[in-house]
Amino acid sequence: MNIINHLESNSKKYPEKNAIIFENEKISYKELYDRVQNFSLSISELNKEVISLISENSISFIIFYLGIIRSGNIVHIVPPEISETNLNNQIKSANSQLIICSENVFNNISKYSKIKTQILKFSEIKSHSEINESSLKENSIAHLIFTSGTTSIPKGVGISHTMLEFTTKNIVNILGHLNSDIDILPLPLYHSFGLGCVYTSITVGSTIILHKDASNLSNLLNSIKKFKATTFAAIPATLTKFIKFENSDLKNNFSDIRLVITNSTSIPKNTIQIFREILVNGNLATYYGLTEASRSTFMIFQEDSSRDNSVGKPAAGVSIKIDGSSNNEILIKGKNVISKYWKNENADKNIIDGWLRTGDTGFLDNENYLFLKSRKDDIINIGGEKVIPMEIEEVVKQIPEVIDVVAFGIKNEIFGQVIKLQVIKSKESNLEKSKILIHCIKNLEKFKIPNKIEFVEEIPKTSYGKVKRFMLK
């Protein structure tokens, strides 16, 4: 089985049922399946193996994502606010032959001089009335996501239909997703978390209430109440922001919610406690995983708070072990783990005999609950978005007055981490922090923009020139 099989099945079982509601639009399961089929034929005729999909949240995003898959091609999923350099790197690494995008994205990226790949707007791809036969191979790649946009070759992760089906079944079985669910989804669909929620909903045949984003909390609360939603997916930062509302108001709006699902390892304890109180008829749950090993553990927060720092137990069919010889690094094995990276032999060294080296450190308790300690590497985790410090450092170094710079993560109650810069400027310069900030805004995605900037006389380094990151604060 794959996502297209599930969609076809639900289009026959529940033809008139709403599959997705987005602002003033709605689409039934039958209409969704028909449009996916019809567009897949158009996409097949384009004769492209890898197709980049760039769009904000919309029904069209889901239609074209599924249409590309059904055509037997690979979807290269790209964030809509990606920088020109990172987009160019990803296009080259993915070997993408075509970009399909929304009107807004087209207006932005059509100006990029580095991008030589053909670009088509959604409106330029016509729907066919005919239907082509779908023959997806279960182990074939469904979509391709790059885990970070670095100044070097980006690291691509190809996710197979088998991995997606395995992961989705675990989500459904462990968290108890139902056909009758009404799912509030404000997460970006270009992210594994948001796309995973779409897979879950289509698999069980529930209804998605799709939002552009999670920025308007009042709108989200109204939507939860209006549609009598039963599930709500959000990053911890969004959940923490809800605390500004009165508990009684939250209880009233969340009265029908039976499940709030989040995806981070850094949920503030106060946030967990508040949601324990407001979810009178439901539970708060989280999971741990990487793009390369999605939904490896699950944690459902009960009344017992002794394991609030845990990310839960391994999912069915997933094995986890701790490598004591490598700073207690966490290793994962299972059908949710990739066998290799996308055309990256150097990165493949992190997968040995099916075991993925995560770069995270932690421990398992005597009941097999996993606890995370830290990152083995220097990656900064901002609300689930992974940031490579080197990328930010290279951008800041473009400023002539900058002698040296280091980027690192500092703790943040809402996002887990935010970015801080320590900058050494030339003695004769009048460089202001505002100039650095403006330069970063122009050249980096929003989540990579530093939260704090500090001028320093020296950056702590070893005799070999390596930054002593443990000394940064």
| CA nearest neighbour of 288 among 263, 324, 308, 317 | 263
Q: Give the model's pLDDT for residue 173.
A: 97
Quick: pLDDT tens for 99-145: 999 999 999 999 899 999 999 999 999 877 666 666 677 779 999 99
- Are 240 and 103 part of one and the same domain? no
Of 5-19, 230-244, 289-303, 452-466, give the lowest mean pLDDT range: 452-466
| H helix count then E strand count, the chain | 13, 25
Residue 191 covered by a domain: no
| Confidence (pTM) | 0.85
Quick: pLDDT tens for 355-399: 999 988 899 999 999 998 866 667 788 988 878 888 898 899 899
Last residue of a domain, one of 163, 198, 231: 163
- Are 288 and 368 part of one and the same domain? yes
CB 204 within 8 A of CB 178: yes
- Are 74 and 156 part of one and the same domain? yes
**Cα-based distances in Å from 86 to 82, 149, 155, 175, 242:** 7, 5, 11, 36, 33
- CATH code for the domain of 368: 3.40.50.12780
State yes or no: pLDDT of 152 exceeds 50. no
Q: Give the model's pLDDT for residue 135.
A: 62
- CATH code for the domain of 25: 3.40.50.980
Residue 259 covered by a domain: yes
Quick: pLDDT tens for 249-304: 899 999 999 999 998 766 878 889 999 999 988 999 999 999 999 999 999 998 77
Structural domain for 453, as ranges: 380-471
- Are 68 and 139 part of one and the same domain? yes
Quickly state the pLDDT bin for 165 (edges 50, 70, 90). Answer: very high
Residue 208 covered by a domain: no
- Are 114 and 137 part of one and the same domain? yes
- Are 347 and 391 part of one and the same domain? no
60: part of which helix (H) or strand (E)? helix 59-70
Quickly state the pLDDT bin for 464 (edges 50, 70, 90). Answer: very low
Measured distance CA(11)–CA(205) in Å, rounded: 9
Quick: pLDDT tens for 204-226: 999 999 999 999 999 999 999 99
DSSP label at residue 117: S
Of 223-232, 365-374, 461-470, give the lowest mean pLDDT range: 461-470
- Are 361 and 427 part of one and the same domain? no
**Cα-based distances in Å from 426 to 120, 384, 401, 431, 465:** 46, 35, 6, 8, 19
Domain count, the chain: 3
For the chain, give the percent of residues with pLDDT over 90.
71
Last residue of a domain, one of 355, 375, 395: 375
- Are 243 and 358 part of one and the same domain? yes
